[in-house]
Structure 1
Amino acid sequence: MLAEWQNHKAQLRAYVTKRIDDVDAVDDILQDVYIKASVNLHQLKSAGSLKGWLYRIAHNTLMDFYRARQHFDELPDNLVAQEQDTGAEARAELAECLRPLIDELPEKYSIPLRLAELEGMPQQQIADQLGLSLSGAKSRVQRGRVKFREQLMACCDFEINEHGISGYSAKDPTRQCR
């Protein structure tokens, strides 16, 4: 192994030197390459592939060198973690805006829709609470959504972009949509 190493050492040194900005570390990296090659010599499939195998080890050792050198700035001690915005407050505010429109729907649709969409109740629980079959509850929630959408589209104009609704305005400014 030592004789083969001597044949490729100069080429490996040039390879490492071109890829590293710390001249003092070149010898350390070459030493790591030699140690890794010596320890893992049993993994070499054929003597003909030794040169490529050594370059692969050199490449991986260089990557390890750069990973170890990554420096991170220390965070200040007085840094306070920001609260995670789960969107719960925004959903609650939106629910209060939509509640009057849902309440204008016929009761057989408004109650299941309010329970499903504003209170997040599972449809089986809605069915149990209202004395309906599961398919009946699903149907009422679905029909309530359709009627609610029709009511919303009659009341407001929406601006939609690739991210969803970007703005809205009342169709009739003199009529206030509840």
Structure 2
Amino acid sequence: METQKIWNNFNNELYFFILKKVKNKEVSNDIFQNTFLKIHENLSQLKNDEKARAWVFQIARNEIANYFNKESVYVENLEDNKENEVEEYQNICCFDKFINDLPEIYKQVIELVYIQGKKQNDIATELDISLENVKARIKRAKDILKKNFNECCKYEFDKNGKLIGESNCSNCKP
């Protein structure tokens, strides 16, 4: 059997099979393309044309599994980074004080996003406010925190918005 014949017989069904599994058009297109590339490269391994459909869909299932395996590693690393980031900032003097001093509506979203690690969409639902409102509150809270760190602790921000400098909290300790 030739690649063109496999394409003619299975391309629509295969594409929608992949799309149903990954639920993302761009990812589906990539997996679909990789699947046909593997089909073309390994066509000599197909001994029985009657089993072509099963063979083609098995290649697609393997490509889908590869995608999800790569994706899970990425998500795991992202979670590790969040924990490190929170720990890094908790060593900064006044961190907890500045968060606790925020107005309640700002403090609430900062704690939910950065301390509890919730998604902004989930927070909007939980607080019964719009996603735009959640984003605005986060931005305002960050602005207040930056101002407080600048005024009190004499920290500065680098070009990426990260705190730099040495702690000097003698100015803001009661």
TM-score, normalization: structure 2? 0.43
TM-score, normalization: structure 1? 0.42
Higher Rg of the two aligned structures: 1
**Bigger share in strand:** 1
